[in-house]
């Protein structure tokens, strides 16, 4: 782990719960409006597309939208998963399971997913710079 990544993780871990939830609320919905409008960051678009979220069939898209809404209503932040480490089937499965979790447990899980995303993005930046 790089010093930058370690500092980032220490910063997040030191945040109060409200700060951690603020970080989670900054993330776009998976397979949501931003993906379809083309307004995601290039990194998010690549990650969601690589997981197959840009090619959901109508029933998958409907289920994803319903579960995303339910999740956001329950927790107050969107469902976060490292799309690059999953495919659409595993993302839907985890969303179905995690929507029923305890709030504190899900906040912690979301933060761990943010850390995975950051790790992969920092790794990609390092590779591109070499």
How far is the C-alpha of 30 from the C-alpha of 64, rounded, in Å?
8
Contact predicate 48/31, CB 8 Å: yes
Cα 122-123-127 angle, rounded to 5 deg:
120
**Whole-number pLDDT of residue 51:** 79
Task: Provide the mean pLDDT of the chain.
Answer: 88
Residue 28 carries which DSSP code?
A: P
Banded pLDDT at 2 (limits 50, 70, 90): confident
Q: Which of 27, 45, 109, 119 is catalytic?
A: 27
Banded pLDDT at 55 (limits 50, 70, 90): confident
The verdict on whether 119 is a catalytic residue reads no
**Whole-number pLDDT of residue 127:** 66
CATH of 3-129, one of 3.40.50.300, 3.40.50.1220, 1.10.3330.10, 3.40.50.10380: 1.10.3330.10
């Amino acid at each position: 782990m790089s010093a930058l990544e370690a500092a980032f993780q220490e910063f997040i871990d030191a945040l109060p719960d409200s700060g951690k939830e603020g970080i989670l609320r900054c993330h776009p919905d998976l397979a949501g409006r931003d993906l379809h409008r083309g307004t995601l960051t290039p990194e998010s678009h690549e990650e969601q597309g690589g997981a197959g979220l840009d090619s959901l069939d109508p029933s998958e898209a409907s289920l994803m939208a319903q579960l995303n809404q339910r999740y956001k209503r329950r927790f107050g932040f969107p469902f976060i998963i490292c799309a690059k480490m999953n495919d659409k089937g595993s993302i839907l499965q985890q969303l179905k399971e995690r929507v029923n979790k305890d709030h504190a447990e899900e906040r912690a899980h979301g933060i761990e997913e943010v850390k995975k995303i950051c790790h992969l993005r920092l790794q990609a930046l390092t590779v591109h710079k070499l």
